[in-house]
Amino acid sequence: MSKAERTRQFIIEQTASIFNKQGYAGTSLNDLTAATGLTKGAIYGNFENKEEVALAAFDYNLGLVREGMRAGAESSAPARERLLAMPRFYRKAFLELRGVGGCPILNAAVEVDDAPPAALRQRVQESLRGWRGNIVQIIKAGQQVGDLRPEAEADRYATLFIALVEGGILVAKATSDASALFTTLDHIEHLINTELAV
């Protein structure tokens, strides 16, 4: 990795939780310089503008969540176990995620719902489509090998699981009560074990 690449990565890592906690609009260039100890010129020597830093920070935060979920179940594991890795991850990592501002998808989705930057909105939409597609793929693969019920509507369950996770995080965050999230995660596990599993 070149010095420029290391500097760019340093900026991303140091600012990721700030963007996640304060949002795009709430994060100033002064916040970025304070977090990194770098000058404005050094930051803009590595990024075109604040939006580019924000997008890189979102990708970094999202990557941490994806990595955590993937670590919960091997790709060769049965579909049921791969699906259960999601609620298990959020149950285990919720407090850690809360410490860095919470779920990056939820935070960015709320902020860009009716405000710029459009590129961040697009990134949120892509991440949700990717997450949903991954769940659908796991369910369909499980159906093909007889691990999951063939009549289960993969699209429906994927949407439901994401809504339960993100809704649970939202309520837990708003009320400072993790039990709201844990209730939704319990329900996801129940659905997997009773409605999807053979």
Residue 57 neighbours by CB under 8 Å, 6+ apart: 12, 15, 16, 18, 19, 20
- pLDDT of amino acid 69: 84
Give the residue among 43, 46, 60 at the shortest CA–CA distance from 4. 46
At 5-58, the pLDDT tens digits run 999 999 999 999 999 999 999 999 999 999 999 999 999 999 999 999 999 999
Give the residue among 51, 59, 28 at the shortest CA–CA distance from 116. 51
Domain count for the chain, please give it: 1
- Does 189 map to a domain? yes
- Does 14 map to a domain? no
Handedness of CA 149, 153, 158, 163 (dihedral sign): negative
Q: In terms of pTM, does the model score above 0.85? A: yes
- Does 178 map to a domain? yes
- pLDDT of amino acid 1: 84
Residue with tokens 């779920």: 103
- Does 101 map to a domain? yes
Chain CA centroid to CA 139, Å: 20
- Does 31 map to a domain? no
For the chain, give the number of residues.
Answer: 198
Residue 86 neighbours by CB under 8 Å, 6+ apart: 69, 72, 135, 161, 165, 188
- pLDDT of amino acid 155: 98
Residue ranges for the chain with pLDDT beneath 70: none
Q: Which domain holds residue 138?
A: 58-196
| Tokens found for residue 47 | 């990024």
- Does 184 map to a domain? yes
DSSP annotation of 27: -
Residue with tokens 């049921």: 80
- pLDDT of amino acid 73: 76
- Does 78 map to a domain? yes
- pLDDT of amino acid 96: 87
CATH number of residue 169's parent domain: 1.10.357.10
Residue with tokens 């009560």: 177
- Does 22 map to a domain? no
